Structure 1
Amino acid sequence: MSTFDFTSFPRAGFIRRFASWVYDLLLAIAVYMVAGAIGFLIFAVFAYFGLVDMNGHQHLIDAQRSSLLYSTLIYSWNIGWVSYFFIFFWAKSGQTLGMKAWRLRVQNQDGTLISKSTGLKRLLPTLLGLGNLWLFIDWKNKLSLQDKLTNTEVVLLTLEANRGRL
């Protein structure tokens, strides 16, 4: 396996980032749904053992929807797993599955992989992908809002550099 100088790859433009975002959005929805199913199963087990107050509701979903606490816990669980999906792949290989498909890699500006804490910091300014619209403001440097705020970049890899596993 050959090594690459990841500082030599050009920064990715909006179209590839958007295509990757669409791919990853579908994966994020799937992660959200699986996390939701598991989270609701845990909620049901807690209800079975009397750890959840049904507040007079017969159905578990009604008890969850009527409680700000229960809803917050379940939706936070789901969002947490989606966040973990991105942070894990960014820190492990610099690529989510969508980024791999479009030959993109997120990295520090020195070409090294980002840390999990940097991945976490990238999430909020990403704004569900809207941070990439910053590329139209900073067209010359091809840096998104999340790139600028975390000193990272998204680069376009060659076919050879993109080979390998996630």
Structure 2
Amino acid sequence: MNKINSLPPAGLIRRLGALLYDSLIILAIEIIAAGIVIAIIFALHSLEIVHYGEYGDPAGLLDKHPILSQLFAIYLSIIWICFFHFFWVKTGQTLGMKTWRIQLRNQDGRSVITISQAFIRLATSVFGIANFSMLFNMQQQSFHDVLSKTQIVVLKD
């Protein structure tokens, strides 16, 4: 019997609890990341290197400028992606997963997944909605578990 079969699969409530916990952490990180960009733009404006023009302030510039708004969205997306990739590839657990005592593992039981597995998992998770697909799978695997060849298990005390 391999290690993955010795631990039970995580249910939907644990998965959603961990996702909610992680969402709050990511929100805080994104606020800090956005604040840094706004502070830099404000400083550049004070030095008269950047002008707000018709946008009025740094927030307007980042929200309505045709190029900067796209770059800002990409920047925030990269931070969000890096959060999950860092924790999944390093330990198989985000901070929310640690709290809910669940872990992401390879099908062979190893708690470290590859970068490509993390990308597949994140790209197919549909912001966590794919977790509901586990309700239709006998092995309690969600859509993104199957595609990334991973499984979330409940850790023993």
After the TM superposition, which residues 34-49 of structure 1 pair with which residues of structure 2 at under 5 Å, given as runs? 34-47=32-45
Tell me which of 144, 150, 153 is aligned to 1:152: 150
- The TM-score, its normalising length taken from structure 2, stands at 0.87
Matched, 1:107 2:111: no
Other-structure match for 2:95: 97
The 2-side partners of 1:46 and 1:7 are apart by 56
Other-structure match for 2:74: 76
Identity %: 31
The 2-side partners of 1:110 and 1:23 are apart by 27
What amino acid does structure 2 have at the position aligned with 1:124?
Answer: A
The 2-side partners of 1:29 and 1:110 are apart by 33
The 2-side partners of 1:52 and 1:109 are apart by 51
1:59 shift after superposition:
2.0
Matched, 1:31 2:35: no
Structure 1 residues 41 and 152: CA distance shift in structure 2, 3 A: same
Asked whether the equivalents of residues 88 and 116 of structure 1 are also in contact (C-alpha less than 8 Å), the reply is: no
- The CA RMSD over aligned residues, in Å, is 2.1
Asked whether the equivalents of residues 62 and 68 of structure 2 are also in contact (C-alpha less than 8 Å), the reply is: yes
1:89-128 alpha-carbon deviations (Å, 9 max, x no partner) = 0111100011001111011101121022321221121111
| Partner-residue secondary structure (3-state), 2:52 | coil
Other-structure match for 2:7: 9
The 2-side partners of 1:124 and 1:50 are apart by 40
List 4+ stretches of structure 1 deviating above 4 A: 45-53
| Partner-residue secondary structure (3-state), 2:130 | helix
Structure 1 residues 60 and 157: CA distance shift in structure 2, 3 A: same
Other-structure match for 2:134: 135
The count of aligned residue pairs is 155
> Which stretch has the larger CA shift, 79-88 or 114-123?
114-123
- The TM-score, its normalising length taken from structure 1, stands at 0.83
Structure 1 residues 119 and 51: CA distance shift in structure 2, 3 A: farther
The 1-side partners of 2:75 and 2:48 are apart by 21
Asked whether the equivalents of residues 131 and 144 of structure 1 are also in contact (C-alpha less than 8 Å), the reply is: yes
1:57 shift after superposition:
3.9
